[in-house]
Amino acid sequence: MTATLDGPVLAVLAMAGRALTVGEIAKLAPRGSEIGLRRSCARLVGQGIVTATAMGRNTVLRLNRDHIAAGIADQLAGLRLELWRRFRLALADWQPAPLLACVFGSAARADGGTDSDIDLLVVRPTFPGEYDRQPSSRMLAALPFGSTGIEYVTSVSPETWDGQLDELRAQVGRWTGNSLQVIDLSLYDYLDERRRWTQLMAFIERDAVELVSQLGSDWRQRPA
């Protein structure tokens, strides 16, 4: 949303709710070097939206809540939560409902830049005839989330599903200005990725933000 580091600095100060040194801001900010963040802090102090106070040998910085732009800092702090909310609202209308949807990578970790892609994993039921064989009840039952209540074959056409993906890509572009990169897996392919514990699954285990899950609470854990 902003090519400078002012946004990350303001978001950190808004979330912290207390005075921070530049070093503390650098540890909490999703991007930016300490030198770059220091310059941004000096600029914001000059504009009056951030106050600087000497404390011993350090200078601490605090968001000036009386400044007319302070509300923007609160909005920046809440942008990721707003993005997750919009994702969930959009996915709630899908037919069939995704079995699993999660954001991973830099967007989930909050360390991406203005030109970073947003990475989304979507797991769907399989289409009729998509595979010569489908996940067996034994395979499903062996997983932590089991097979109860999971509809793993859908009558929805691939074209309808792809249309929903295309619309979501367009929506995310309008919301954020960033591109949405989707990994679209059938449940069968997801189970295979999980069984082999691929690099994708390792990424997801580490930092995924769950948006939708019909697979219980253990879907991201490595199988025993």
The CATH number of the domain holding residue 191 is: 3.30.460.10
Q: Are residues 52 and 89 in the same domain?
A: no
Q: Would you say residue 221 lies in a domain?
A: no
**Average pLDDT, rounded, for the chain:** 86
Q: Which range of residues forms the domain containing residue 99?
A: 80-213
Domains in the chain, number = 2
Q: Are residues 161 and 196 in the same domain?
A: yes
Q: Which of 26, 49, 77 is the last residue of a domain?
A: 77
Q: Which of 24, 49, 77 is the last residue of a domain?
A: 77
Could you read off the pLDDT of 86-113 as tens digits, one per residue? 999 999 999 999 999 999 988 887 777 6
Read off the pLDDT band of 60 (50, 70, 90).
very high
Q: Are residues 133 and 207 in the same domain?
A: yes
Would you state the pLDDT for residue 3?
A: 45
Q: Would you say residue 1 lies in a domain?
A: no
3-class SS letters over the chain: CCCCCHHHHHHHHHHHCCCECHHHHHHHCCCCCHHHHHHHHHHHHHHCCEEEEEECCEEEEEECCCCCCHHHHHHHHCHHHHHHHHHHHHHCCCCCCCCEEEEECHHHHCCCCCCCCEEEEEEECECCCCCCCCCCHHHHHCCCCCCCCCCCECCCCHHHHHHHHHHHHHHHHHHHCCCEEEEEEEHHHHHHHHHHCCHHHHHHHHHCEEEEECCCCCCCCCCC
